[in-house]
Amino acid sequence: MSPYVGLLIGTFMILQVSLISFPLVFLALLTIAIKSKKNWIFPLAFIFGVILDSFYLKTLGTTSIFFLIFLFAVFMYERKFEVDSLSFIFISSFLGSMILFVILGETNILLKSAITSLLAIFLSKIEAKLDIFKI
Amino acid sequence: MLKGRQNYFLFFLFFSILIFTLSKFNLLETPQSYLSKATTSISSPVLFLSDFLTQITQNGSEKKLKEENLSLQKKLLDQQKLIEENKALHDQFQVSNPRSLDLLPATVVGAPRFIPGIFSPENFIIDVGTADSVKVGNAVVVKDNLIGKITKTSKFISEVTLVTNPSLKFAAKTTTNVLGVIKGGGNGELFFDNVLLSDHLEKGELVLTSGDLKLDQTGFLPNIIVGQIVSVEANPTDLFQKAKLKTLVDFSKISKVFVVKSLR
């Protein structure tokens, strides 16, 4: 696993808990999972999910369970769809963030999910350009 | 490949469910509080830096005027309270026992908002918890303004649900004693709802807490400023009227708050 991956998700986590309520960690995990298609995404999803839960004072494991199930579901579609296409990233991030916003009890879910999925496309383009996930 | 991935997934899913179950039965309270403290110590400087950058970009005179306005509103309310108190003393021939609040200062360590500058925060994470005797239900204030209510606590940090959060509803009154219910509208919006059509609401009037303090000293004390009426929506066919409020404090620029622990 590239050290940049941990650094990127760590930075996103700090931004998410202190400044921006975008599900940045989820977006990073999703785009990295789609690009790298590696299994080490599961321990990362587990660890960062637990850290997020501890900060938001939620029952530990809630976010981890969501991250793990969602990422596994994305991997399941790997053979059926072109998962690293922009349309798949858009739809999966839209659905995933919508479920996450429901779990977090957020308002304006549709608008926020739409903005989140646009950010996911932007993020995946940057990730592809920087090429930090080829391991 | 798929089998290996499935094993990975099931292994971590099992651990997540195990942690979830243990946490649900409060068996992981201590590690959770230390973990949240560690996260807080990292996120706090980021928030401080963001506040600092906001402050240096903000117009100095505008900030001064806002602070002056806040202080004048407080003076006006104090004067009104004095008049009411004086009247009550004359009426009942008894001296009230003024009490001061036991306030616990706290630093905001997390104020996530969807897009900073566009969306307002609906929750704060503050750096005090059950170790500082903070309880769920304690009010959080800045000067005489209500900020929100403690909704979750751990040993070292707590979550404050802001008054603008749609999940927070409580009874309130205007300075002319018109009763209603405060409802958060989300994204910085606040409403004074369920006001009888026969009551009179005026633009610019202050809305205060009506007081719902419980025996364990949780809840809101009376006469804390919630907001100021900016518009009134009254439809003759409706049973109730409602007013849109603006808070006198800019939630996106708060870095220090006070938890009302008890009356002294």
Q: Bigger pLDDT: B264 or B68?
A: B68
Taking Cα atoms as reference points, which of B200, B112, B208, B128 lies closest to residue B162?
Answer: B112
- List the single residue in A14, A42, A53 with the smallest CB-CB distance to B12: A42
CA distances, B1 to each of A11, A37, B6, B155, B258 (Å)? 31, 11, 9, 43, 55
pLDDT of residue B98: 37
- B111: chain A residues, CB-CB within 8 Å: 18-19
- List the single residue in A19, A46, A56 with the smallest CB-CB distance to B16: A46
Mean pLDDT score across all residues of chain B: 82
Kindly state whether A15 is in contact with chain B, defined as any CB-CB distance less than 8 angstroms.
yes
Q: Bigger pLDDT: A10 or A108?
A: A10
CB pairs under 8 A between A and B: 122
**% of chain A residues with pLDDT over 70:** 96
What b/e sequence results for B103-142 when a residue is b if at least 16 CB atoms lie within 10 Å of its CB, and e otherwise?
Answer: ebebbbbbbbbbebeebbbbbbbbbbbbebebeebbbbbb
Residue B250, Cβ density class (10 Å: 0-12 exposed, 13-18 middle, ≥19 buried): middle
Among A44-48, A125-129, B82-86, B120-124, the range of highest mean pLDDT: A44-48
Work out the minimum CA distance from A40 to partner chain B, whole angstroms: 8
Report the phi/psi class of residue A47: left, alpha or beta, with left for phi > 0 and alpha for psi in -120 to 50. Answer: alpha
Q: Bigger pLDDT: B115 or B75?
A: B75
A119-133, B153-167, B199-213, B236-250 — which is least confidently predicted?
A119-133
pLDDT band at B96 (very low <50, low <70, confident <90, very high): very low
Please name the residue of chain B whose CA is at the shortest distance from the CA of residue A45: B12
pLDDT band at A44 (very low <50, low <70, confident <90, very high): very high
Give residues with Cβ within 8 angstroms of B183, minimum separation 6. Answer: B166, B168, B169, B190, B191, B193
- B121: chain A residues, CB-CB within 8 Å: 21
Among A17-26, A123-132, B125-134, the range of highest mean pLDDT: B125-134
Quickly count: other Cβ atoms within 10 Å of residue B242's Cβ. 20
Q: Do residues B222 and B115 make contact, with C-beta atoms less than 8 angstroms apart?
A: no
Instruction: Write out pLDDT tens, residues A84-125.
Output: 788 888 999 999 999 988 887 777 788 889 988 999 998 888
CA dihedral B142→B143→B144→B145, nearest 10 degrees, is -30
pLDDT band at B43 (very low <50, low <70, confident <90, very high): confident
- B47: chain A residues, CB-CB within 8 Å: 18-19
- A115: chain B residues, CB-CB within 8 Å: 114-115
Inter-chain touch A62–B36, beta carbons under 8 Å: no
What mean pLDDT comes out for the span B113-138? 82
Q: Bigger pLDDT: A40 or B1?
A: A40
- List the single residue in B19, B46, B113 with the smallest CB-CB distance to A61: B19
Whole-angstrom distance, CA of residue B185 vs CA of residue B254:
20
DSSP state of B212: -
Work out the minimum CA distance from A22 to partner chain B, whole angstroms: 5
Taking Cα atoms as reference points, which of B145, B143, B151 lies closest to residue B168?
Answer: B151
What b/e sequence results for A59-90 when a residue is b if at least 16 CB atoms lie within 10 Å of its CB, and e otherwise?
Answer: bbbbbbbbbbebbbebbeebeeeebeeeebbb
Type and span of the H or E element at A11: helix A3-18
What mean pLDDT comes out for the span B34-50? 75
**% of chain B residues with pLDDT over 90:** 23
Kindly state whether A98 is in contact with chain B, defined as any CB-CB distance less than 8 angstroms.
no
Kindly state whether A66 is in contact with chain B, defined as any CB-CB distance less than 8 angstroms.
no
Inter-chain touch B157–A57, beta carbons under 8 Å: yes
Instruction: Write out pLDDT tens, residues B165-183.
Output: 888 889 999 988 899 999 9
- pLDDT value at B46 more than 60: yes
- B24: chain A residues, CB-CB within 8 Å: 59
pLDDT of residue B149: 93
What mean pLDDT comes out for the span A1-28? 82
Inter-chain touch A57–B112, beta carbons under 8 Å: no
pLDDT of residue B239: 84
pLDDT of residue B163: 92
Kindly state whether A24 is in contact with chain B, defined as any CB-CB distance less than 8 angstroms.
no
Inter-chain touch A14–B24, beta carbons under 8 Å: no
CA distances, B106 to each of B80, B101, B140, B173 (Å)? 29, 15, 9, 28
pLDDT of residue B65: 78
Work out the minimum CA distance from A109 to partner chain B, whole angstroms: 11
- List the single residue in B4, B15, B22 with the smallest CB-CB distance to A39: B4
- pLDDT value at A135 more than 60: no
Work out the minimum CA distance from B69 to partner chain A, whole angstroms: 28
- B114: chain A residues, CB-CB within 8 Å: 20-22, 108, 112, 115
- List the single residue in A16, A68, A105 with the smallest CB-CB distance to B9: A68
pLDDT band at A38 (very low <50, low <70, confident <90, very high): confident
- pLDDT value at A27 more than 70: yes
pLDDT of residue B248: 87
- pLDDT value at B84 more than 90: no
pLDDT band at B53 (very low <50, low <70, confident <90, very high): low
Kindly state whether A110 is in contact with chain B, defined as any CB-CB distance less than 8 angstroms.
no
Inter-chain touch B186–A115, beta carbons under 8 Å: no
Q: What value of ipTM does the predicted structure carry?
A: 0.87
Give residues with Cβ within 8 angstroms of B133, minimum separation 6. Answer: B104, B261
Among A125-129, B10-14, B75-79, the range of highest mean pLDDT: B10-14
Among A15-19, A63-67, A99-103, the range of highest mean pLDDT: A63-67
